[in-house]
Structure 1
Amino acid sequence: MGLKVIMNIIGGLIAAYGLESVLIPNSVSDGGITGLSIVGSKTFGLPLGVLIAVLNIPFVYLGYKQIGKSFAILSVTGIASLAVGTVVMHHVPTIIDGDTLLVTVVGGIILGLGMGLSLRNGGALDGIDMLAVLLSRKLPFGTSDLILFLNIFVFIVVSTVFGLQGAVLSAIAYFIASKVIHIVEEGLSGSKTFKIITSEPETMVETIRDRLGRGATLNKVQGAYSKDSFYEITCVINRLEERKMKDIIQEIDPNSFITVYDVTEVKGGNFQKRDIH
Structure 2
Amino acid sequence: MKKIGREYLLITVGIVMVAYAMEYFFIPNNIAAGGVTGLAIIINYYLPLLSVEIYSFAFNVILFIIGFIFIGGNFGVKTVYSALGLSGSMWLIKVIFNPVAITKDLMLASIFGTLVSALGMAIVFNQNASTGGTDIIAKILNKFFHVDIGKSLLLVDFIVIFLSGITFGWDVGMYALLSILLNGFTIDRAIEGFNVCKQVMIISSKNNEISKFIMDELERGCTIFNGKGAYTGNDTYVLYSVINRKEFIKLKYFIKEVDPDAFISVNEVHEVLGEGFKKIE
TM-score (norm 1): 0.61
Match of 2:161 in 1: 155
CA distance in 2 between counterparts of 1:176 and 1:115 reads 13
The question of 1:266 aligning with 2:268 is answered: no
CA distance in 1, matches of 2:142, 2:78: 15
1:96-115 alignment, distance < 5 Å: 96-98=103-105, 100-115=106-121
Q: What is the deviation of 1:59?
A: 2.6
Distance in 2 between residues matched to 1:130 and 1:55, nearest whole Å: 11
Counterpart residue number, 1:252: none
Is 2:17 aligned against 1:14?
yes
Query: Of 46, 52, 64, which aligns to 1:48?
Result: 52
Instruction: Identify the residue that residue 41 of structure 2 maps to in structure 1.
Output: 38
Change (3 A) 1:79 1:16: closer
The aligned residue for residue 57 of structure 1 is 61
**Partner amino acid, structure 2, of 1:60:** F
Equivalent residues of 1:209, 1:215 under 8 A apart: no
Separation in structure 2 between the aligned mates of residue 93 and residue 134 of structure 1, nearest angstrom? 36
Structure 1 segments unaligned to the other structure (5+ residues): 194-206, 219-234, 241-261, 271-277
Aligned to 1:87: 94
**Pairing 1:181–2:184 present:** no
One-letter code of the match for 1:96?
Answer: T
Note closer, same or farther for the CA distance 1:9–1:135 as it changes in structure 2 (3 Å cut).
Answer: farther
Partners of 2:79 and 2:44 lie apart in 1 by 25
- Partners of 2:60 and 2:224 in 1: CA distance: 46
Q: Scaled by the length of structure 2, what TM-score is found?
A: 0.60
Cα distance, 1:34 vs. partner?
0.9
Matched length:
219
Partner of 2:229: none
Structure 1 residues 85, 176: closer, same or farther in 2, change over 3 A?
farther
Change (3 A) 1:191 1:130: farther
CA RMSD of aligned residues (A): 4.3
Which residues in structure 2 correspond to 1:118-133 (within 5 Å)? Answer: 118-132=124-138
1:53–1:83 Cα contact (<8 Å) kept: no
Per-residue deviation, 1:155 = 0.8
Q: CA deviation at 1:54?
A: 0.6
- CA deviation after TM superposition for structure 1 residue 134, in Å: 8.2
Do the aligned partners of residues 29 and 10 (structure 1) sit closer, same or farther apart at CA in structure 2, a change above 3 Å counting? same
Pairwise CA distance, 1:39: 0.5
From 164, 168, 181, the counterpart of 2:174: 168
- Determine if contact 1:60/1:76 at 8 Å carries over to the other structure: no
Q: Distance in 2 between matches of 1:165 and 1:75?
A: 31
Q: Per the alignment, do residues 133 and 89 of structure 1 end up closer, same or farther by CA in structure 2, a change over 3 Å counting?
A: farther
Q: Which residue of structure 2 lines up, in the alignment, with residue 5 of structure 1?
A: 8
1:62-95: per-residue Cα shift (whole Å, max 9, x none)? 2692424424542344334344245336732432
SS in 1 for 2:72: helix
Contact residue 22 and residue 107 of structure 1 kept, 8 A = yes
Structure 2: gaps (5+ residues): 205-209, 211-221, 227-239, 246-268
